[in-house]
Amino acid sequence: MSDNTYHSSSRPAPGEPEIRQRRVRISLIWLVPIVAALVGLSMVLQNWLSAGPQITVSFLTAEGLEANKTQVKYKNVVIGRVTGITLSVDQTRVLATIELDQNTDAFVREDAQFWVVRPRIGASGVSGVDTLLSGSFIGADPGDATDTRREFIGLEAPPPVTFGVEGKQFILRTSDLGSLGIGSPVYYRRIPVGQVVSYALSEDGTGVSVQIFVNAPYDDFVTEDTRFWNASGVDVSLAADGFKVNTQSLSSILAGGIAFRAPAYSTDTEPAIEESEFALFNDMAQAMARDDGPARFVQMRFDQTLRGLNVDAPVEFLGVPIGRVVSVNLDYDEQRKSFPVVVGALIYPNRLGTANDKLLALIEGDDEERSAHLIRSLVENGLRAQARTGNLLTGQLYISLDFDSRAAEVVFDPHAQPLVIPTIPGSFDKLQEQLQAVVDKLSKVPFESMANNIDGSLSELRKTMEQVNNGVLPQLQRTLERSEQTLESANQAMADGSPQRQQVGDALEEAQRAMRSVRVLTDYLSRHPESLIRGRGNAEAPASFKGSATSRELNMEPQQ
């Protein structure tokens, strides 16, 4: 019964189709593409999850850049790659699409910087030499701003100061840039401690602002009283103490440089705050000088040529530099029909030191009035301006303020603007006038007639010399020969044993006896002067006479 029931239920009813269930069988060959798809999907998912931000950097040129090859590095670590290079819409720049790695959010901040690293030779030295073998790459510098961006303008040169370098930036004000440039070194006691970061014209266009960066810990040596000066080139000076050559380094000669130091008399040791402003002086001597105080503009009129007087020429008072020349212009005098030279100068009274304080103490009024009356009193005592030669080799001039007791009196207006200091001719001009006077006197001398007279005298002298040579000298020669013969004859006559020599000897002996007799007589008469009147008498001859004179010699009769 059970069997019939089973068969009746499992069999299909008459007229119904039989439904059979099929088993699904999967072949092993399909596992390979399934696994590959899963691996690819996981790699795509991993790349999507590990991909960093995408940015666009524009450059002037695509030199050294290649899509899918050029790398982006920070501190020589790869942080991205260039994926595409296109031109901008206006065709003026090149747009490089860069895909950064993950965790590079600092490189999409607003102040991030990008540049192409190539071999360069600049003021700071040689850089990018390693790219000669590996090829160019894009250097990156992160920022610390809070805002982010996706489009950047690339730098054409590496930044002087990169992210993370400790130090301070300062601003220097100067009249012109000179030989300075970005990357020019900054020295402290001849040690390079920083560099020039940037420069720009001032807003009014009358000067230049130079931004420098001083590395730590040297930035602490920059105080409020620190002085900066241009250390470019070579400073050559020739003074009484000899020839001097001063320079910071070879690089400062080629690329310029800036040096700084606080004066020795400064007591300020507090470091200056960042972005402080300082003046940039032309040289060290000017930078280390004490504060000159307010300047006073004066004018001087010279009725002479001033070739060699340049702007910035010194103005000295009794040998002490108290100012400089700021202008040299020509004027026209209608009365004299001449062209005087008007020299403008800035003088600093504070450079006179205690002398200025003592003189101003004698005058009442404000500073400007006292300064004007002080100059008037000096002019009344003979103060005059004079252009003098400062260098005989180059002919450069300078203005000297000195007292001249022989200077003529002038009318000085202390209320004039500007003050006009009277002048006198320069020493060199006086020398020229004296030389011209000497030349004028020499031109009046009758050199031609004098030359004719001298020529005639020389002709007469020539004739006289010819007569002497032809007539007098031969006769004189013959006379000398005869004199020589006479002397030879005399020498032969006076030879030893000759009669002439014997006669001369006898004559000399007779003369000697005569002289002895005269001496005896003189001695006797000095003791017996009365014998001249009475005669000698019977008195015996003195003992000194005995044996030395004959009786005939002593028998003297008195004269009748």
Q: Is residue 39 part of a domain?
A: no
Together in a domain, 366 and 283: no
Assess whether 194 and 315 both reside in one domain.
Answer: no
Domain that holds residue 212: 167-288
pLDDT by position in tens, the chain (length 560): 444 444 444 555 555 565 555 555 666 677 777 778 777 777 766 666 666 788 999 999 888 888 888 999 998 888 899 999 999 999 899 999 999 888 888 888 988 999 998 877 655 556 665 666 677 899 898 988 888 888 999 988 888 777 778 899 999 999 888 888 888 889 998 889 999 988 999 888 888 999 999 999 999 999 998 999 988 765 655 544 455 656 655 555 656 789 999 888 777 788 999 999 999 988 888 888 777 778 889 999 998 888 888 888 999 998 888 889 999 998 888 888 889 999 999 988 888 878 877 888 777 777 777 888 888 888 888 889 988 888 777 778 899 998 888 888 888 888 888 888 998 886 656 666 667 777 777 788 787 888 888 888 888 888 888 887 787 788 888 888 888 888 877 777 766 667 777 777 788 888 888 888 888 888 888 887 777 777 666 555 554 444 444 444 444 444 43
90: its two tokens: 């206006």
Neighbouring C-beta atoms of residue 54, cutoff 10 Å: 14
User: What pLDDT, on a 0 to 100 scale, did the predictor assign at position 545?
Assistant: 44
Which secondary structure element, helix H or strand E, spans residue 320, and what is its range? Answer: strand 320-330
Number of compact structural domains in the chain: 5
Tell me the whole-structure pTM to 2 decimals: 0.53
Angle 354-361/367-380 helices, nearest 10 degrees?
100
Q: End-to-end alpha-carbon separation of the chain, Å?
A: 245
DSSP-derived letter for residue 351 is G
Query: Do 234 and 311 belong to one domain?
Result: no
Q: Identify whether 477 is part of a domain.
A: yes
Same domain, 272 and 181: yes
The number of C-alpha atoms within 13 Å of 377 and in the hemisphere containing its C-beta is 11
Same domain as 349, residue 246: no
H or E stretch covering 431: helix 427-444
What beta strand segments (E) does 94-150 contain?
94-101, 113-117, 120-122, 125-127, 137-141
> What gap in Å lies between CA 404 and CA 318, rounded to an integer?
12
- Do both 178 and 264 map to the same domain? yes
Tell the burial category of 90 from Cβ atoms under 10 Å away from its Cβ (0-12, 13-18, 19+): exposed
The last residue of one of the domains, among 231, 264, 288, is 288
**CB distance 191 to 148 below 8 Å:** no
Same domain, 228 and 212: yes
Polymer length of the chain: 560
* Assigned domain for 2 exists: no
Establish if 53 belongs to a structural domain: yes
Same domain, residue pair 79 and 131: yes
Q: Report whether 298 contacts 417 (CB < 8 A).
A: no
Compute, in degrees rounded to 10, the torsion defined by CA atoms 502, 508, 509, 511: 150
**190 domain-assigned:** yes
Count of CB atoms within 10 A of residue 196's CB?
25
Give the residue from 401, 392, 384 showing the smallest Cα distance to 325: 401
Q: Residue 525 falls within a domain, yes or no?
A: yes
CA distance 376 to 382: 10
Distance from C-alpha of 122 to C-alpha of 159, rounded to nearest angstrom: 12
Q: Chain centroid to CA 88: how far?
A: 51
Reported as type and span, the H/E element at residue 254 is helix 250-255
Asked if residues 484 and 491 have their Cβ atoms less than 8 Å apart, the reply is no
Quick one: 230 and 351 in the same domain?
no
Under 8 Å between Cβ of 287 and 262: no
Integer-rounded Cα Rg, in Å, for the chain is 59
Last residue of a domain, one of 238, 257, 288: 288
Of 97, 103, 202, 101, nearest to 150 by C-alpha is 97
Residue 160 lies in a domain: no
From residue 29, give the alpha-carbon distance in Å to each of 26, 32, 35, 40: 9, 6, 11, 18
Tokens 């009318």 — which residue? 411
Q: How many of the other CB atoms lie within 10 Å of CB of 320? A: 11
Q: What is the pLDDT of residue 559?
A: 43
Among all chains, which residue has been given the structure tokens 């999409």?
108
User: Are residue 310 and residue 410 in the same domain, yes or no?
Assistant: yes
Two tokens at 338? 């001449």
Give a yes or no: residue 436 inside a domain: no
Tokens found for residue 420: 């006009």
Q: CA–CA separation, 193 vs 185, rounded Å?
A: 8
Query: Residue 472 carries which DSSP code?
Result: I
Which residue, 208, 329, 182, is CA-closest to 280?
A: 208
User: Which residues is 277 bridged to in the sheet?
Assistant: 171
Q: Which two tokens stand for residue 454?
A: 């001298």
Q: Is the dihedral of CA 483, 489, 493, 494 positive or negative?
A: positive
> Do 304 and 284 sit in the same domain of this protein?
no
- End position of a domain, from candidates 265, 288, 311: 288
Sort strands 397-403 and 314-317 into parallel, antiparallel or unpaired: parallel
**How are beta strands 77-87 and 185-188 bridged, if at all?**
unpaired
Q: What is the rounded CA–CA span in Å between residue 255 and residue 110?
A: 32
Task: Give the pLDDT confidence score for residue 129 in this predicted structure.
Answer: 59
Q: Considering only CA atoms, which of 273, 166, 160 is closest in space to residue 222? A: 273
Same domain as 423, residue 327: yes
